[in-house]
Amino acid sequence: MTADGVRGTRPDRGECDEYYHGYVALVPDGDILGTLARQREAFVSGLRRIPEAKGDYRYAEGKWSVKEVIGHLVDTERVMGFRSLAFARGDRTPLPGFEQDDYVAGGRFAERTIADLADEFGSLRDSHLVLLRSFRDEDWMRRGVASGYEFTTRSVAWVMAGHVMHHVRVLEERYL
């Protein structure tokens, strides 16, 4: 199978924990690299249309602000990118999870602009696309452990896309 075939095929149930398949299910069929590239363009351009005055808006007390949601997506992109690198390289060292609320609390996203967060996300996604394009079939199918769960590199890429899709829907429905 070519790399396009491996990365163009939805991960099987055994390639990540059932929880993450909720994100995978949101991703349309097809080459994940094309999906990730299109998503990068749509997401970053969508962020640029959000008025800066909306950045600190929370739809309810105790919920993240718009900028905190975007910051969470930046943090998750970075963590998932490292996981894909580690797994593709054959690193079997179990990787820790990350506590999203702690990351958001420590991110000081209110001090940043939406445009700055959009730039950071775009830069990270661009670098991950370069990395993912370098993978061979066997790299896509290598396994590693993170957050106590086994993943394939391929499933991590699909989770990356589905996680952004999930939060875009939340932003559209509850914030904007």
Identify the structural domains of the chain with CATH numbers, from first to last: 3-10+18-175 (1.20.120.450)
How crowded is residue 98: how many other Cβ atoms within 10 Å of its Cβ?
13
Q: What are the pLDDT digits (tens) for 87-107?
A: 999 999 999 999 999 999 999
Chain mean pLDDT for the chain? 96
CA 9 → CA 23, 38, 85, 140, 157, distances in Å?
15, 17, 19, 11, 11
pLDDT in tens, 29-82: 999 999 999 999 999 999 999 999 999 999 999 999 999 999 999 999 999 999
Q: Which residues pair with 149 in a beta bridge?
A: 146
Mean pLDDT of 106-128: 98
